[in-house]
Amino acid sequence: MSELWRLSAHAAGEGLRAREFTAVELTESVLARVEAVEPRVNAYITRMDGIALEQAREADARFAAGTATPLTGIPFAVKDLIVTKGVRTTAGSRMLENFIPPYDSHVAAQLKRAGAVMVGKANMDEFAMGSSTEHSAFGPTANPWDTGRVPGGSSGGSAAAVAAGECLAALGSDTGGSIRQPAALCGVVGLDPTYGRVSRYGIVAFGSSLDQVGPIGRDVEDVAAILDGIGGHDPRDSTSDPAPSPDMRHYLGRDVRGMRLAAPREYFGDGIEPGVRARVEEALARLERLGCEVDTDLSLPMTEHALAVYYLIAPSEASSNLARYDGVKYGLSARGGSMWENMERTRAAGFGEEVKRRIMLGAYALSAGYYDQFYLKAQRVRTLIAREFRDAFARYDALVTPTAPTVAFPRGAKLDDPYAMYLNDALTLPASVAGLPALSLPCGLSEGLPVGLQIIGDVGAEGAILRIGHALERDLGQANRLAPLP
């Protein structure tokens, strides 16, 4: 029973329902694993051991009463921009270091309603601005495959915790790749749902037209079950899709023969490491053997502009969203002068360098005389990118690409070069800009480190990409592959 932390979420659920072990025993195993490896990984900002054990006892009572759900008793990590009642929510920033919310976000409430167990609040790049989880005010997170390397970002703590066995599943958020890229670098599965599929109520905002909460798990079945648990309409979020959310697990195990896939040329350019390219091409060959039709001649030329579009729209929205942190209502407050001096001191002390960089970039793009030239033009190009994807999905069921251009890189290697850091998200940004669902799953190793494959679907087509991902995962034998962290 001591290594129950090695189980996938759905395997653990089966064991719990069969009374092979209890939710308390499962949670104690995970907490022991956290105690053993957390000093090397730093996946958590705030641990919730006492709350987790209390929730595990409640889960056991639900099993006894016959009211359990697929997520009951499953130990989760929750990214620390997801508001949790009575438990501090920092968004990885000194600005919110002591903020204890008086309410739950929609997704936190959904996990509680399902009987899940919250192990802790996962580390992240400050306000979700970063690609390596090196921009956290609470120290960097290490990749459990190689602790000298980054886990990706901004949901690096969530992905690292799943890969290291410090939880069985996690929630992250994805604005431009922040679930998929760390999932790829840590060798786990991550899903960025269609924009509006999951409520953003109670999520610390970064880019409101891009932010989306999604699951990270050990395999495709795990993320499908989690999406079933957190998806659906929420009237408190004006962008929430009012249509009923389908049962995602219904799509798993279906035959993929005859499905039409494309591997767009722009996603296989010069910046892709040879090992990454080789693993993805091998996966494409496997999909062909499974009966899919794979087209490697598709061109999506507008998607090359997604990086520029994203780094105008997201910082612009961030500069507006982060204006609320003024040292007056809540959060850090540095006082000692006039109102304007106090605000200046508060923001100088509370925000890290990357956050300040993006606030200034966004404020400039929105300023008088530049709004039309930058922000408005970016929104127009965004429409063209979405239209190009729409035309592609009239011909194909899904697009298949690498998730990240490289495997995990050494810590500190790109900290002094923001543009090189931003390029890590070049392959995930287009789907985010268009509001499309995208799945990342492991497709092998390069230099002993995980490679992620991305499957992008049309609006609302999570079922199709989960179906393809599940079939490929079973063929690859990559499910529930933990990092080799002693």
In the predicted structure, residue 2 carries a pLDDT above the cut 80: no
Give yes or no for residue 339 having a pLDDT over 90. no
Q: Within this chain, do residues 38 and 125 fall inside the same structural domain, yes or no?
A: yes
Q: Is residue 193 part of a domain?
A: yes
Q: What is the pLDDT of residue 300?
A: 97
**Catalytic position from the list 8, 178, 199, 245:** 178
Catalytic residue from among 8, 131, 136, 154: 154
Considering only residues 478 and 90, tell me which one the structure prediction assigns the higher pLDDT: 90
Q: Identify whether residues 117 and 226 lie together within a single domain.
A: yes
Per-residue pLDDT, 419: 86
Mean pLDDT of 31-54: 98
CA distance linking residue 282 with residue 48, whole number of Å: 42
Whether the predicted pLDDT of 18 surpasses 70? yes
Residue 388 located in a structural domain: no
Cα–Cα distances in angstroms (integers) from residue 450 to residues 7, 178, 410, 433, in the given order: 19, 17, 14, 26
Q: Is residue 390 part of a domain?
A: no
- Residue 486 pLDDT > 90: no
Average pLDDT over residues 211-217: 98
Q: Are 403 and 180 in contact (CB under 8 A)?
A: yes
On average, the pLDDT of the chain sits at: 96
What is the CATH number for 125? 3.90.1300.10
Q: Is 290 domain-assigned?
A: no
pLDDT in tens, 103-160: 999 999 999 999 999 999 999 999 999 999 999 999 999 999 999 999 999 999 999 9
State pLDDT tens for residues 368-406: 888 999 999 999 999 999 999 999 999 999 999 999 999
In a domain, 385, yes or no: no
Do 32 and 172 reside in the same domain of the chain? yes
Mean pLDDT calculated for residue range 188-206: 98
Strand bridging mode 260-262 / 293-295: parallel
First-residue to last-residue Cα distance in the chain: 18
Looking at the chain, the whole-number percentage of residues with pLDDT higher than 70 is 100
Answer yes or no: do 343 and 422 share one domain: no
Question: Are 44 and 164 members of one domain?
Answer: yes
* pLDDT tens profile 300-335: 999 899 999 999 999 999 999 999 999 888 889 888
Whether residue 23 has pLDDT greater than 90: yes
pLDDT of res. 334: 86
112 is catalytic: no
The answer to whether the beta carbons of residues 421 and 320 sit under 8 Å apart is: no
Examine the residue annotation and report whether 319 is marked as an active-site residue of this protein. Answer: no
Instruction: List, for residues 54-74, the tens digit of each pLDDT value.
Output: 999 999 999 999 999 999 999
Domain match, 364 and 408 both: no
Q: What is the pLDDT of residue 132?
A: 98
CA atoms within 13 A on the CB side of 134: 21
121 is catalytic: no
Give domain status of residue 386, yes or no.
no
In terms of residue numbers, what domain contains 176? 4-259+400-476
**Same-domain pairing of 182 and 40:** yes
Which of 124-133, 192-201, 419-428 has the weakest average pLDDT? 419-428
360 shares its domain with 406: no
Is there a single domain that holds both residue 374 and residue 405? no
pLDDT at 442 over 80: yes
Tens of pLDDT along 218-270? 999 999 999 999 999 999 999 999 998 899 999 999 999 999 999 999 999 98
Task: Read off the pTM.
Answer: 0.97
Structural domain count of the chain = 2
Residue 108 lies in a domain: yes
My answer on whether 94 and 223 are in the same domain is yes
Q: Give the integer Cα–Cα distance in Å for 263 and 259.
A: 13
Q: Among the options 8, 79, 199, 432, which is catalytic? A: 79
Q: Based on the domain organization, do 178 and 321 belong to the same domain? A: no
SS3 79: strand
pLDDT tens column, 26-35? 999 999 999 9
Residue 443 inside a domain? The answer is yes
Q: Clarify whether residues 253 and 355 are in a common domain.
A: no
1, pLDDT greater than 70: no
The rounded distance, in Å, linking the Cα atoms of 433 and 375 is 14
